[in-house]
């Protein structure tokens, strides 16, 4: 994490940089703002945001944690009469922008080669609701999978982008559906460890409202099992759970018109089709799976609809879960062909892309252009 520092015209950038360096070296072991600096970069030339003909001499101040940036930025502004910029960029976005600008990585870029991504679609059923959010048993996990083959190419110098999907399934009705049923805690532990292993083998994890429901429940349940049944879990299963929690899942927040709700992202990336529908078909009155599927032409004969009170471990619920997964496959196939090219063109992962509006996408691409061309960016 870092931000840019420059000085008024009447000051020399060399002396302006030496002053905080000396103060920082003297205060490394103290408990003030300067002790939270990791390092101070060399002097670089950046272009002014408002007048590209003007070059400004800047240096970067790197912080030990991303959330230290505002405090250190304020300290240098008020105590050292230094100007700061690019101090409001979220760390995840800052890292993505810099990796892209440095040509180290670009999302879904195949460099013109044919590549394949593996997609997992899943849906859970819970038959009861416990006293806490983290101890709700996951009784049924239904899942399926498919592959998408594509090739893509970009040229940042002339901002040329090409993305072609070469092979994508068309028949969602005939895909195999796997179902893990857990009538007791021992079976649930076995099934959850198996599912956690499965998740790690795929590139994209998809489902409808998964980050706010399915992912959240799986994450909380695995956490609860490790804490409550630690002595009854084998070493191998414990490693699977810990690896899943550490590497393949991250608690997050979801915001919609200012309303904050809990969410969990699964990695490498989660494609939440609820957010996708809200983005690509914002004119719909209802974004639920039962409304979206028929709108997209995904219709099942004898579609079973159950209320939460009717969910049980029985044949009827298993059929309901299977049909849910089938519909989610169809919805995923529709949305992924829109989301993949857009994620590539903007270099935004699904968790950022699908929850953002057009302004956020333009901001992100402007940040990449600014980083490539070394322009000082204003607050986004």
pLDDT digits (tens, 9 = 90+) for 90-101: 999 999 999 999
- Average predicted confidence (pLDDT) for the chain: 92
What pLDDT is attached to residue 357? 85
pLDDT band per the 50, 70, 90 thresholds, residue 7: very high
Kindly tell me if the per-residue pLDDT of 83 is higher than 50. yes
pLDDT band per the 50, 70, 90 thresholds, residue 131: very low
Kindly tell me if the per-residue pLDDT of 283 is higher than 90. yes
What pLDDT is attached to residue 31? 75
pTM for the model stands at: 0.89
Kindly tell me if the per-residue pLDDT of 107 is higher than 50. yes
Kindly tell me if the per-residue pLDDT of 33 is higher than 90. no
pLDDT band per the 50, 70, 90 thresholds, residue 193: very high
- pLDDT tens-digit readout, 344-372: 999 999 999 998 888 889 999 999 999 99
- pLDDT tens-digit readout, 295-312: 999 999 899 999 888 999
Kindly tell me if the per-residue pLDDT of 106 is higher than 70. yes
pLDDT band per the 50, 70, 90 thresholds, residue 379: confident
pLDDT band per the 50, 70, 90 thresholds, residue 232: confident
Kindly tell me if the per-residue pLDDT of 72 is higher than 60. yes
pLDDT band per the 50, 70, 90 thresholds, residue 380: low
pLDDT band per the 50, 70, 90 thresholds, residue 255: low
**Mean pLDDT, to the nearest integer, of 222-226?**
94
**Mean pLDDT, to the nearest integer, of 184-195?**
96
SS (H, E, C) the chain: CEEEEECCCCCCHHHHHHHHHHHHHHCCCCCCHHHHEEEEEEEEEEECCCCCCCEEEEEEEEECCHHHHHHHHHHHHHHHCCEEECCCCCHHHHHHHHHHHCCCCCCCCCCCCCEEEEEEEEEEECCCCCCCCCCCCCCEEEEEEEEEEEEEEEECCCCEEEEEEEECCCCCCCCCCEEEECCCHHHHHHHHHHHHHHHCCCCEEEECCHHHHHHHHHHHHHHHHHHHCHHHCCHHHHHHHHHHHHHCEEEEEEEECCEEEEEEEECCCEEEHHHHHHHHCCCCCCCCHHHHHHHCCCCCCCCCCCCHHHCCCCHHHHHHHHHHHHHHHHHHHHHHHHHHHHHHHHCCCHHHHCCCCHHHHHHHHHHHHHHHHCECCCCC
**Mean pLDDT, to the nearest integer, of 95-111?**
94
- % of the chain beyond a pLDDT of 90: 78
**Which residues does residue 178 pair with via DSSP β-bridges, in sequence order?**
143
Range from 57-66, 324-333, 358-367 carrying the lowest mean pLDDT: 358-367
Kindly tell me if the per-residue pLDDT of 218 is higher than 80. yes
């Amino acid at each position: 994490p870092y931000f840019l520092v420059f000085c008024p015209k009447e000051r020399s950038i060399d002396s302006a940089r030496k002053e905080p360096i000396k103060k920082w070296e003297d205060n490394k072991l103290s408990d003030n703002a300067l002790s939270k600096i990791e390092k101070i970069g060399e002097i670089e030339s950046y272009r002014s945001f408002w007048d590209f003909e003007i070059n400004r001499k800047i240096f970067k101040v790197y912080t030990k944690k991303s959330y230290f940036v505002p405090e250190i930025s304020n300290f240098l502004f008020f105590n050292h009469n230094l100007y700061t910029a690019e101090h409001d960029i979220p760390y995840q976005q800052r890292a993505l922008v810099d990796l892209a600008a440095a040509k180290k990585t670009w999302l879904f870029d195949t460099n013109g080669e044919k590549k394949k991504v593996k997609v997992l679609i899943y849906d859970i059923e819970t038959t009861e609701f416990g006293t806490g959010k983290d101890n709700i048993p996951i009784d049924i996990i239904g899942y399926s999978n498919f592959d998408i083959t594509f090739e893509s190419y970009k040229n940042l110098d002339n901002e040329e982008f090409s993305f072609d999907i070469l092979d994508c399934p068309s028949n969602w009705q005939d895909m195999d559906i796997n179902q893990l049923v857990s009538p007791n805690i021992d079976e649930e532990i076995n099934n959850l460890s198996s599912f956690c292993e499965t998740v790690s083998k795929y590139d994209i994890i998809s489902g409808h409202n998964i980050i706010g429901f399915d992912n959240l429940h799986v994450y909380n349940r695995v956490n609860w099992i490790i804490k409550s049944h630690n002595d009854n879990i084998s070493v191998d299963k414990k490693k699977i759970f810990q690896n899943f929690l550490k590497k393949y899942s991250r608690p997050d927040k979801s915001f919609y018109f200012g309303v904050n709700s809990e969410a969990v992202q699964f990695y490498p990336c989660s494609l939440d089709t609820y957010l996708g529908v809200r983005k690509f078909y914002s004119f719909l009155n209802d974004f639920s799976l039962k409304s979206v599927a028929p709108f997209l032409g995904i219709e099942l004969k004898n579609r079973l609809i159950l209320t939460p009170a009717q969910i049980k471990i029985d044949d009827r619920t298993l059929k309901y879960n299977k049909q849910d997964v089938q519909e989610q496959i169809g919805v995923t196939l529709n949305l992924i062909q829109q989301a993949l090219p857009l994620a590539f063109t903007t270099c935004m992962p699904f968790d950022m892309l699908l929850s953002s509006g057009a302004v956020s996408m333009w901001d992100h691409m402007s940040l990449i252009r600014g980083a490539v061309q070394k322009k000082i960016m204003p607050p986004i």
